[in-house]
Amino acid sequence: MASRCWRWWGWSAWPRTRPPPAGSTPTFGGSDEVRDPNATALRNKRRRMQVRVKLGKFQLLLDIQEKTPQICVVGSGPAGFYTAQHLLKHPQAHVDIYEKQPVPFGLVRFGVAPDHPEVKNVINTFTQTAHSGRCAFWGNVEVGRDVTVPELREAYHAVVLSYGAEDHRALEIPGEELPGVCSARAFVGWYNGLPENRELEPDLSYDTAVILGQGNVALDVARILLTPPEHLERTDITKAALGVLRQSRVKTVWLVGRRGPLQVAFTIKELREMIQLPGARPILDPADFLGLQDKIKEVPRPRKRLTELLLRTATEKPGPEEAARRASASRAWGLRFFRSPQQVLPSPDGRRAAGVRLAVTRLEGVGEATRAVPTGDMEDLPCGLVLSSVGYKSRPVDPSVPFDSKLGVIPNVEGRVMDVPGLYCSGWVKRGPTGVIATTMTDSFLTGQMLLQDLKAGLLPSGPRPGYAAIQALLSSRGVRPVSFSDWEKLDAEEVARGQGTGKPREKLVDPQEMLRLLGH
C-alpha cells in the first residue's frame, strides 16, 4: 500500500515571484512579473502549468491553473456550504467540499425535524452552490481517516474545517450507561436516517419518557414522541422510525431543566408547536412562575415574549375550545424546572433504566450569571426511557489540528485557527453548538471573509497547488471512492421515487453500503 506521507516534487522549478511594490495592493501569488523575460505578456492572465507530485511510490504530472486559489472545506452541512458560498465570491477560487457521509447537507438532512420541511428549503441554496463550475462535492471521504489534514494543507492554499459537532455531552452521572438511556442526538439521528444511528432501536414500550434538557432539540424529540404517527406519514421520517413510533406506548414526556422558566433554551416557535400539538396537553406548575411577571419587564423582547407565553399557558384558564381539546388529549408533556439529574435509577433487576433521581435546585445570581444550586432535597421521577439533551460536542478531527477538549472547539480568532496559518474553521466547531441555521450562515460568511482577506494580503502560500487532482490520486491509492454531487443527485432521485409510493417526499437511504452499490461503487 502506498505510504500516507507525500510531498511536492520539484518546488525549485516553479516560477518564483517578486514581492509587490510598496503601496500596491497584493494579489494572489504575489506579482505577475516573474523572472522569465516573456512573463510580462502573461500578466493578469490565468496560466496552466504542469507540476510533478510525488505520492508515496507514485509520481504524478498534474496540469493545474497557476492563478487559481485552491481551497477545501471539510463538512457539507450549513457551515460548510455557507463558507463555500462566500469563498466563491472570489472570481477565480475553486472550492472542494469533503464529507464523510455519501450524502451532503449535514444537520439539515440529519438534524432538522421531519415535520419542519420548510427549514430544509435551504438545501436549494446549497445545491446552487454545488452546481457552480468552481465548486465540487466529494462525499464518502472521512478526513482524519481516508486523508489527513496535513495532506489537505499540502494540496490546497487554504483548508476550512466545518465538520460540526458529531458527539453529545455526557451526563456524567451514575446509571447513564443503562439500557433505556440514550442521547437526544442519537435519537434524532435515528428518526432522521443518520447511518450511524440506524440500528438504535429505542424501547418505547413504557408510558413515561424523561428528557434531560430544555432546548430546541429536547422539544423536537418530545414532539416526535407525542405526535400522532399519521401526522408523520407524509414527512421524510425513516420507515423504520415510523414503524416503531406507531407501536409506541409513551403517553407522558417530561422535560427537565436545572434552572427556571427565564432560562429555558428553546425558542417561541417550538414552544407554540408543543402547546398546540394534536392529542397532547401541557403540564405546567403555576408555582414555578410566581413573581415572574415583574422579572420579565427588563428582559430582551424575544425572551419576554417566550416567557409570557409560558406564563399564560401555566396560569390562565383556557377558553372553552382549548379546554375541551386538552380534556380529550390522551398524551401529555410537562416542564420540570429547578431539577438537576443526579442518577439514572435502575430497575429492580438492574437491567435497565427505571427513573431519574433529581436534586431540587434554587437560583443564585442575576442575569447571565444565574446558576442553579442544590437545596438538599431530592425526588425520584419514574420512567422507562431517558434521553439526555444537554448539548452537542465537537470531536478533534486530526492530531495536527489544535483542539480545546474542554470547550469542544478549535481555538481560533475570527475563524483563523491559532498558530496554523492557512487553516480556518467555521460553524459549531468554531464557536460551539449554539444558534440556528441563520447564526451559522453569519458565522461562516465571516470565516470566508477572513480567508479572502488573507488571500488578498498575500498571507497564504504562493504558487500553484494541485487541489483535488492530488487528493483523488491519494484516495485511489487507498481504495477510497468519493461520491460526487451528480452521484448524490442519483441517490436523491432514488429516495424520491421510493417515497412516492407511500405519499412521502422521499424514503431516505440509511445504509452507506446500499448507497454505494446503487452508484456502482
Environment class of residue 43 by beta-carbon count within 10 Å: exposed (0-12), middle (13-18) or buried (19+)? exposed
Residues 6+ apart with CB under 8 A from 95: 71, 72, 73, 84, 87, 88, 134, 135, 136
500 marked as part of a ligand binding site: no
Has 263 been labeled as part of a binding site? Answer: no
80 is an annotated ligand-binding site residue: no
415 is in an annotated binding site: no
* Residues 220/188, Cβ–Cβ less than 8 Å: yes
Q: Tell me whether residue 143 is annotated as binding.
A: yes
215 is in an annotated binding site: yes
216 annotated ligand binder = yes
Rounded Cα–Cα distance for residues 494 and 511 (Å): 13
Q: Is 435 annotated as a binding residue?
A: yes
Cα–Cα nearest to 227, from 178, 265, 267, 278: 278
Residue 437 in marked binding region = yes
Q: Are 329 and 276 in contact (CB under 8 A)?
A: no
Beta bridge partners of 340: 359
For 444, counting Cβ atoms within 10 Å of its Cβ (0-12 exposed, 13-18 middle, 19+ buried), the class is: buried
The answer to whether 408 is a known ligand-binding residue is no
Q: Is residue 79 a known part of a binding site?
A: yes
99 is in an annotated binding site: yes
Annotated ligand binding at 386? The verdict is no
Q: Is 107 annotated as a binding-site member?
A: yes
Contact 8, 53 (CB under 8 A): yes
Task: Give the whole-angstrom CA distance, residue 190 versus residue 197.
Answer: 5
142 is in an annotated binding site: no
φ/ψ (deg, to 5) at 364: -125, 145
Helix (H) or strand (E) holding 280: strand 280-283
Indicate the annotated binding residues for FAD: 79, 99, 107, 143, 428, 435-437
Indicate the annotated binding residues: 79, 99, 107, 143, 214-217, 258-259, 270, 428, 435-437
Indicate the annotated binding residues for NADP(+): 214-217, 258-259, 270, 435
